[in-house]
Structure 1
């Protein structure tokens, strides 16, 4: 698998932490902020025990990653957890590639950004925290909709949606 990213960003090889036979890389912004990870040979599948209010902020099908008649999607989505006491945990937001079924209705299972990729599955994505005040973060962006207008989000989206099989 290969993908494109801005020249000022770096890739950190975390192979020692990869699943057997898989890869694990972390994408870092120029200020060292981790914005996404790519892992392969992941075990996919989970049981949905509880659903939460769901919001879809952005979505795009990724035909280059289609496997066995299933086309993964890039999504930027959120869930609301009314029982969480921490503000960031109450409304987790994440972007990534998923092969999971699209939610139907106003609720969905917890965020699960894995997609079908031989021999089992892979993940490529990250989380958005509107409360993160780390240096270099876009200033005064406190909504997911506002975040989609930032250069950082546009670069992340472009990078993740550029993922393709090696040699293509």
Structure 2
């Protein structure tokens, strides 16, 4: 394990990029196939999403957070055992029942960066509605590794979610750690990119990272980004 971490509030996911609940396919995504080489990318604020269909608003069972999602998608809440002291644990699935993202709160996390990898930030957007103590988290869709230097062996190489950690500098970055500061401790809302769940039409024969990049052009990804970036305090 390159990123040594702990999630001690209940049955949290392993340290690293967020995944769907421990019982879903997104949470147990297989290591990514070989990735194509790409230069480091610096993402600009995300443009307005090209989405379609009506929206509905979901409020977590604890009444603390809300977000908008396509009317045809579903939310299971709670999606698993809650940590001691409560919190949110909601899994979002699309109209076909495939997991798109998981939202969890009241998570205690820690990590140690023992090795760094080539990285690319495919998209990034600040989320002022979630700011805490002057710190503004941001939505991010990013990758680790390339054809010459694979990412960590025990996690997929692309993920989307919300982060509070500073953006990497230079050519290398620590493994992905998609958590953000939220009372009483930390939270997550996102998932690994998994071609079995995140369908990219016409890209099935391409290397994993190229599939992940092309996924950005799909309506499904735009709906995911719109959903995650709509996260806000309820009420």
2:211 pairs with 1:117: no
C-alpha distance 83-73 of structure 1, shift in aligned 2 (>3 A)? closer
| Alignment equivalent of 1:60, drawn from 119, 125, 142 | 125
Give the 3-state SS of the residue equivalent to 2:228 in structure 1. helix
Cα distance in 1 for partners of 2:88, 2:162 equals 16
- Please say which of residues 32-41 and 17-26 is displaced more in the overlay: 17-26
TM-score, L = length of structure 1: 0.88
C-alpha distance 159-83 of structure 1, shift in aligned 2 (>3 A)? closer
Corresponding residue for residue 102 of structure 1: 167
2:114 pairs with 1:23: no
Cα deviation, residue 118, structure 1: 0.6
- Structure of higher RCO (CA pairs closer than 8 Å, 6+ residues apart): 2
The runs of 5 or more residues in structure 1 that have no matched partner are none
TM-score, L = length of structure 2: 0.64
Cα distance in 2 for partners of 1:57, 1:95 equals 9
C-alpha distance 109-25 of structure 1, shift in aligned 2 (>3 A)? same
Contact 1:99 1:115 in 2 (8 A): yes
Corresponding residue for residue 4 of structure 1: 68
| Alignment equivalent of 2:220, drawn from 140, 152, 155 | 152
2:228 pairs with 1:164: no
Contact 1:35 1:127 in 2 (8 A): no
- Higher helix fraction (1 or 2): 1
The runs of 5 or more residues in structure 2 that have no matched partner are 1-64
Cα deviation, residue 101, structure 1: 1.0
The runs of 4+ residues in structure 1 deviating greater than 4 Å are: 83-86
